[in-house]
Amino acid sequence: MALRWARAGHEVVIGSRRAEKAERVAGELTARLDGAAVITGLPNPAAAAACEVAVLSVPHGSQEPILQAIKEQLVGKLLISVVVPLKPPKVAHVWRPEAGSAAQEAQAFLGSAVHVVGAFQNVSADHLADPDAEIDCDVLVCGNKRAQKAVVEQLVVDAGMRPVDAGPLVNASVVEGLTALLIGINRRYQVKGAGIRVTGLVADAQC
């Protein structure tokens, strides 16, 4: 997503707990852009402070400590949650945390000063790794505020995919659960990158 957004003209900052890792990854991604844009790497708190829209894409077990470290810097901002709660070793079985979803957990932890929107949980990392690949997958977007969802939907378009408004944040429980289902489908059918496509919509519809 960082590559796709940078090529679309967005200023992208990669955050990590270790500054050297953030700088290394940012440098590797920038090199793939062939001078089209520069991606910056910063420690998580500095990255959160520098951004207008934050994207949290980490294992579920790392979510709370990372949010604790950047909670102050996220006040007044939009956070896109890509986190999926999975319970090893049965990661193809749907498992939900007590709050219902990782996105709802994040919203409860951060409070009303931060707007959380869930998106991108069902898109294969293998597809995203190739910024030139055409991704035959819709992105289901869950959030409680229409204005914030509209921002995320435009970012979905900028990344080369079609957004679908999947309703309020409580529905993130279903969307996150679909990831476990897709993992199982990939295994059973020996494919990579099974995704979700909503039928019955106009091809370029944005809900």
Average pLDDT across each block of 10 residues of the chain; the chain has 207 residues. List them in order.
95 97 97 93 98 98 98 98 97 97 98 98 90 92 98 97 98 98 97 94 64
User: What does pTM read for this prediction?
Assistant: 0.95
The answer to the question of residue 61 being in a domain is: yes
User: Within 13 Å, how many C-alpha atoms sit on residue 162's CB side?
Assistant: 17
The answer to the question of residue 105 being in a domain is: yes
The answer to the question of residue 182 being in a domain is: yes
CATH, residue 184: 3.40.50.720
Q: For residue 160, what are the domain limits?
A: 52-189
Q: Based on the structure, what is the number of domains in the chain?
A: 1
- Structure confidence at residue 130 (pLDDT): 87
- Structure confidence at residue 143 (pLDDT): 98
